[in-house]
Amino acid sequence: MPNSDNRYYVSAYGAVGDGLHNDTDAIQQAIDQCHQDGGGTVFISSGKYLVGTFILKSRVTLDLGTGAWLIASLNQNEYQLVEAAPECTQKTTRCGLIYAYGEEDITLTGEGQITGQDKSFWIPKTPEEIGESWNSTPPRYWPAEWRPMLILFENCRNVLIEKVSIREAPVYAGWLIKCDSVTINRVHVINDFYGPNTDGFHLSSCCMVHISDCHFLTGDDSLAIDGNGSRPAEHIYITRCRFNTSVNALRVYTGLDNDLTPKNKVTAIVRDLEMSDCTVTNAAGVVNITAECGLIENLSFSNFTVDMEQEGTVFYLMNMEGTIRNIRFSRMEARSNGAATLIGVPDHYLESIQLDNIHFQIKPKKKWHGLEMPDLVPSYGHHHFAPYSLFIRYARNILIQNITFQWMGSDSEEVKTDSLLKCRHIEHLQVENFKGSFLGTAPSSPIMDWIDVQDSIFRESESGEESAFS
């Protein structure tokens, strides 16, 4: 039965909270009793609670009080391992510290902390394995044989995660799969900047998602949205969040995962996503959209302030064998070492992409593909090495308007002959009020470099130097 204040205190079920004794069973008993009584709040007071997997159940609120720490056990036997679905092509196994499957009306809240003891699940790389910073991605560790994510919810409905701090995740801070009506609000994710796969939240085939007022420090994608489950990911709203990441603030994708079957490789869908009023203090990419298959459509991004130190580009769109269409970026200030790379392939053009009212400050750093992306891009991860300029290839119905570039200079010799806007194999291009000088210092450098651009409109644009075209 609950306490007189209608809370189920885990201490009443035997939790010690000294960081030495395992408190998993006590917390689970409190959750089970609360669930059996019809729901309520399970309260964890100040202390350090060593735990393995426990299961959150319907109509239960787990409240981590001020000073409460949930600490991930290092013992694999204390975790519930979850097998991939039978239809998956590769039988991967995953585990979560806080797990729920098929539950509804579940809440994780409070001023407490969840910590994953990350480095206990990693192996440091040698300097040779890390490589030079300009041509490598940041992770400085190899993952061990197994490692837990801190939150794993599948097929759940009416999910609220708020106020808690999630730290030192060995892998994703949280993974939500086929969940409906999800709210993530005022959550702090503080992971290792150089850790392997130390993402914030992955949301796979989730619907009606609201993420607001969160802070992310991550060593991989802070937020990742995919349609790789058995249904679309749709109606997703992200606002007023702050990002500091070694990879992407947001990655949207179809494919790229080993759990896909041939059928849902075709039907993977992400659509109807809005992201606004966000701040990026560091990243290798702000928005990365990659379609290996399926469909990504109707995405809008606005009112960003961006300051990138990592090698990369602000926006990176790559179509492989899927469809990417109806994407808009507007009202942004961005300081970075690359503007935007938008690339399709001959059989799968990008469609209906808009860049509107964006001010870029570009200061290039040496990187592999600084001047131009190769025809065959080895992987989506090559956004780290994407061009300095605004680079577009194999696309149709492109609108670029009210764009300004401020060239911040560079020590790299290769940029001296670079152009500001490069277009390759474009159908229906409209450029209006495009302002800025070429990136290079050579007098013959063209402001814009066009190859096979059909049906173009170019008006009301200015440059700091005389315009030239290729």
**Whether residue 71 has pLDDT greater than 90:** yes
> Averaged over 430-452, what is the pLDDT?
75
Lowest mean pLDDT of 81-95, 341-355, 375-389, name the range.
Answer: 81-95
pLDDT of residue 262: 58
Over the stretch 245-280, which tens digit does the pLDDT of each residue have?
Answer: 999 999 999 987 655 555 566 778 999 999 999 999
Spell out the domain ranges in the chain: 7-329+364-385
**Whether residue 465 has pLDDT greater than 50:** no
Q: Quick one: which H or E segment has residue 30?
A: helix 24-36
- Choose among 67, 57, 55: nearest CA to 36: 57
Over the stretch 151-161, which tens digit does the pLDDT of each residue have?
Answer: 999 999 999 99
Largest CA distance in the chain: 80
Distance of CA 352 to the CA centre of its chain: 23
Over the stretch 29-51, which tens digit does the pLDDT of each residue have?
Answer: 999 999 999 999 999 999 999 99
Pick among 2.40.480.10, 2.160.20.10, 1.10.10.10, 2.40.110.10: CATH of 7-329+364-385: 2.160.20.10
User: CB-based contacts of 263: which residues, under 8 Å, 6+ apart?
Assistant: none
- The pTM score is 0.93
**Whether residue 382 has pLDDT greater than 80:** no
pLDDT of residue 218: 97
- Give the pLDDT band of residue 445 (cuts 50, 70, 90): low
**Whether residue 293 has pLDDT greater than 70:** yes
What value does the mean pLDDT of the chain take? Answer: 88
- Give the pLDDT band of residue 23 (cuts 50, 70, 90): very high
Region label for 273, one of left (φ > 0), alpha (ψ between -120 and 50) or beta (otherwise): beta
User: CB-based contacts of 170: which residues, under 8 Å, 6+ apart?
Assistant: 72, 116, 117, 118, 120, 121, 122, 143, 147, 148, 149, 195, 198
> Averaged over 423-448, what is the pLDDT?
79
- Give the pLDDT band of residue 329 (cuts 50, 70, 90): very high
pLDDT of residue 469: 38
Question: Are 99 and 53 a contacting pair, CB within 8 Å?
Answer: yes
pLDDT of residue 124: 94
**Better-predicted residue by pLDDT, 67 or 1:** 67
Other residues' Cβ atoms within 10 Å of the Cβ of residue 107:
18
**Whether residue 87 has pLDDT greater than 70:** no
pLDDT > 70: what percent of the chain? 87
- Give the pLDDT band of residue 406 (cuts 50, 70, 90): confident
pLDDT of residue 470: 37
User: CB-based contacts of 277: which residues, under 8 Å, 6+ apart?
Assistant: 239, 240, 302, 303, 304
pLDDT > 90: what percent of the chain? 69
Nearest-angstrom CA–CA distance, 315 and 286: 6
- Pull the structure tokens for residue 404: 């300004």
pLDDT of residue 468: 35
User: CB-based contacts of 1: which residues, under 8 Å, 6+ apart?
Assistant: 33, 37
Lowest mean pLDDT of 106-115, 281-290, 305-314, 461-470, name the range.
Answer: 461-470
Nearest-angstrom CA–CA distance, 164 and 112: 6
* Radius of gyration of the CA atoms of the chain, in A: 24
pLDDT of residue 132: 64
Over the stretch 164-198, which tens digit does the pLDDT of each residue have?
Answer: 999 999 999 999 999 999 999 999 999 999 999 99
